Amino acid sequence: MKFVPERLEVAAGDRITWVNRDFVPHSVTAKEAKVESGDLAQNARWTWTAKGKGDIPYLCRLHPVMKGTIILK
């Protein structure tokens, strides 16, 4: 149960799509950066356009042990 890849380097304006390949629901949540996918069911997809600069750590709100980082170049 994890984000793959856990670290992703992107440039501002890039579109990132998360796909839930698990059968339990997950979310992409970064409170400070105001990123919130809502609950994603099995096979649901969610796309976010990267903005800002620096590292954005995020987690699954439902499974806080799942963590990832978006690195904005």
Q: Quick check: 22 binds another protein (CB under 8 A)?
A: yes
Q: Which is nearer to another protein, 30 or 72 (CB)?
A: 30
CA angle 6, 11, 12 (to 5 degrees): 115
Q: Quick check: 42 binds another protein (CB under 8 A)?
A: yes
Nearest distance in Å: CB 32, another protein: 19
Q: Where are the alpha helices (DSSP H) in 1-73?
A: none
CA angle 25, 31, 16 (to 5 degrees): 65
| Residues near another protein, by CB under 8 A | 1-2, 22-25, 42, 62-66
